[in-house]
Amino acid sequence: MGEMQAHRLVEPVSTPEFFDFAPPFSCFDHIDTRFACLSSLHRCFSLARSFDAQTLIQEAIPPDGIIVQENEEIASLGLTGCRHDLVRLSFWNTRVTVANVSALKDENLIGYAILKRDAGEWEGDRFDRWHIFEAVFRKYMHAHNCLPNTGSYSVRIANRKFTAHGVLYCQQNGLNKACAHVALRSLLSRLVLEHDISYSVLNTLARKCHDKATRYLPKNGLTVQQIRCILQYYKIGFRDVDYAERSLKEPDIRKTYPYQKYLYSGIESGVGGLLGFSMDGPQATEGCHIIPFYGHTFNKDTWAPDADASYFNIGANVGYIPSESWTSSFLGHDDNFGPNFCIPRLYVNPENVQYAVELLRNGVQYNGMVAEALALQLLYSLYPHLDANSTWQKRLARHVQEQKVVLRAFCIPQTQYLEHLRLIHDWENNTERTEMLDTLRYTLPPVVWVVEFSIPQLFPANERKLGEIILDACCSPYDLFTPFIIARLPGNYLVLTDKKSLSYERIASHLQSHVEVMRQND
């Protein structure tokens, strides 16, 4: 782990420079004169401005750890007369000078970026280019910017160690890494035990999966099979759709397996997703671009869910309203433009989408689309057992019958669900009894799919729910009831006692009405 973090913790080779961010300091002048007009760096400076940055610290640093590995790999690929420069930038929400740098704390750090310059002779031409090796910036503090599972990255600045929180952003360089490499590193840096991955390892794995008839060139990117091999090597579960391949046999694949379903479920579960798409326009070239997604925005006032059910799917067997309908944008990086962008959920034309990946937690056997489908069928199975004497169960029954129940699926450790259950209050301020929590602690498997259910008048504006269905995430769903553990309803839990007769045992709950939805926003 130490080697994987070494490039962040390396000591500077020169005295740090301190820049006051107040006028007349110009971000444009600084980027143009020092970093060859690197366009993606403008996004970093803009993010810093949006957090009211007061100071920029700039340090030259030596290569270490995975950057040394990268330099060696670049030389082996054919860059001759190599020169590599490294600069570490950090942005602070307070005024910093040499005199008070020792007083800085983690909460003062807005973000950092490690910039790398690669220069030499490449394929007969002069090559000299800056790129952002990595950057981490805070997420916006807006309540409806949801970012489950931010990463924590240790970084040395002015010879002191700090922790930056966010999702790693990386940029391709046209030598040993392309968009797929950096997208994978971005998401996997939060998930692998080493807390980071090396591009040289990615390329070694990709070569093993490459067609032996041609030479593997990292700058050309990764194939679907190579991405799968990399995820399998790191023991990262996933479900993906290769639309380009499957559309030849299944023309409607983009409708039956919409890409946004994969991204949303991976995001809500805190692991993220990848989207590969072809480019369009009169000068578009062949090939795909791939970007990582890790968060989303929530718009409680959106018209679409109600309108879709009432105006545009009249008589259709829709079944339920997915919580994804209130998502305006996904949060993601685009290595060409920079970190932390809002990308409208349905912006990418499905016909351009070639590949989508939903990452899964370790050991999980099925994805969010399957979890939602199972939960919906289970709700219909539970329908005859809903308590007519419970006001809120009667309301739930009506919405199930009208096919207007809202479902939200995410996969988490059972400990996280139990902590949520311990903290929530119903509308009368009741909490769950300790005995029930202790029972569930011994009943639930280590990882569960939680499928919350609510109703349209309750979920968006109040961010509250009526209950949830809990599924075993690590068993294969051979039938409807194999993964089913328990359903929590207002006033009681239902546990299946007999599959053939669909008999359920009713266990009392202190939570008598609606409660707050689970918040996974770091």
Mean pLDDT by 10 residues, the chain (522 residues): 82 95 96 97 97 97 96 96 96 95 96 98 94 95 85 94 96 97 96 85 94 88 96 95 93 94 96 95 81 94 74 61 93 97 94 97 94 94 92 96 94 96 97 96 96 95 96 91 95 90 91 94 58
Task: Kindly list the structural domains of the chain, giving each domain's residue range(s) and its CATH number in brackets, ordered by start.
Answer: 6-360 (3.90.70.10), 368-516 (no CATH)
* DSSP H or E segment with residue 180: helix 179-188
* Reported pTM: 0.94
Question: What's phi and psi for 9, nearest 5 deg?
Answer: -100, 5
Per-residue model confidence (pLDDT) at position 301: 86
- Where does residue 213 rank: exposed (0-12), middle (13-18), buried (19+ CB within 10 A)? exposed
The whole-angstrom separation of Cα 206 and Cα 199 is 10
Per-residue model confidence (pLDDT) at position 48: 97
Question: What's phi and psi for 81, nearest 5 deg?
Answer: 60, 40
Per-residue model confidence (pLDDT) at position 287: 81
Per-residue model confidence (pLDDT) at position 314: 46
Q: Pull the structure tokens for residue 273.
A: 């997703």
* Opening angle at CA 186, ends 138 and 368, nearest 5: 95
Per-residue model confidence (pLDDT) at position 446: 96
The predicted-structure confidence for 193-225, as pLDDT tens digits, reads as follows: 677 899 999 999 999 988 777 889 999 999 999
Q: Pull the structure tokens for residue 166.
A: 């966010």
Identity of residue 285: T
Identity of residue 516: E
The predicted-structure confidence for 325-345, as pLDDT tens digits, reads as follows: 999 999 999 999 999 999 999
